[in-house]
Amino acid sequence: MSVDDSRFAAAQRTAASRRGTKAGRLKAWLVIVPTLALFGTALVGGASAFGKTDYGATARKLPPGALVLVSAQDGGSWLQRLTSSGKELCAVTPAQMTQVAAHYDVSYVTVTMDGRDVRIAKVSGTGANDHDMRVYLGDARLTCKFVREGGVFFLPFDPNIS
């Protein structure tokens, strides 16, 4: 259709029935309101978790034992590494825990998991990473999991209608 034709066609049109019925428009709000509520919850929930490390979720994936928090050095999939806080939580036996406490600088944090308080030993100083700790404890099969960090990965988009 040439420009002239489309102009001619436009000049013949009328606005009749462009809006739709009032009932039809109001019905849409049955979808809009719950979606907006979900949006609000996701937005504020996601933002308040921003930067927080989720020890509880990580600990649940580990076998029973004492928990030690170390820096992540290697291992894991690329996605795990990209979305982790750069730390790993490892499950050790009580005997290994004694060894760790004797070798590293250790401080403790308490987190709530499934309604009960769980103590985590945070190790620091030279060699406070999963690789060196495995070597030190002589346990290559020590189970460690990446600790995920909450992030806000969306845009504050709003096209200005100017």
Partner 1 sequence: MSKRERAQAAIYAGLFVLVLTSGALFLSQFAGSATFWKHFTLGYLVLLLLYTCYLFALLFVNDLRPDSYPLYAGEKIAVLIPCFNESPELLEHAVRTICAARGRKQVIVIDDGSTNGARGYLAEYERRFDITVHYFLENKGKREALHYAVTHLLDDDVEFVVTIDSDTVLEPDALIRVVEPLKAATIGAATGNVLLLNEEQNVLTRMIGTYYWVGLNIYKQAQSVIRSVVCCSGCLAAYRAPLLREIIDEFANQRFLGERCTHSEDRHLTNLVLRQGYDVVYVEDAVSWTETPATLRGFLRQQRRWKRGYIRESIYTLSYAWRNKRLLFMQVLFWDLTAPFLSFGLRVALVVTAIRLPALVFTTILPSWIALMLIRYIFIPLRAREKLVGLFLYMLFYEACLYWLNLWALLTVKNTSWVTRQQSAQV
Q: What does the binding site for partner 1 look like in residue numbers (CB under 8 A)? A: 3-4, 6-8, 10-15, 18-20, 22, 25-26, 28-29, 31-32, 35-36, 38-40, 42-44, 47-48, 50-51, 78-79, 82-83, 151-162
Least Cβ distance, residue 49 to partner 1 (angstroms)? 10
Of residues 43 and 95, the one with the C-beta less far from partner 1 = 43
What are the tokens at 62? 């580990």
- Closer to partner 1 by Cβ: residue 11 or 140: 11
Least Cβ distance, residue 1 to partner 1 (angstroms): 9
| CB of residue 104 to partner 1, shortest distance in Å | 24
Token digits of residue 72: 């992540």
Q: State which H helix or E strand residue 86 sits in.
A: strand 84-92
In terms of CB distance, is 43 or 135 closer to partner 1? 43
Of 14 and 116, which CB lies nearer to partner 1 in the complex structure? Answer: 14
- Sequence-distant (≥ 6) Cβ neighbours of residue 142 within 8 angstroms: 90, 91, 92, 96, 130, 133, 134
What's the Cα-to-Cα distance from 57 to each of 47, 99, 140, rounded to whole Å?
18, 26, 23
Which residue(s) pair with 108 in the sheet?
A: 121
Residues 144, 70 contacting (CB under 8 angstroms): yes
What's the min distance (Å) between Cβ of 89 and partner 1?
21
Q: At 112, which amino acid appears?
A: T
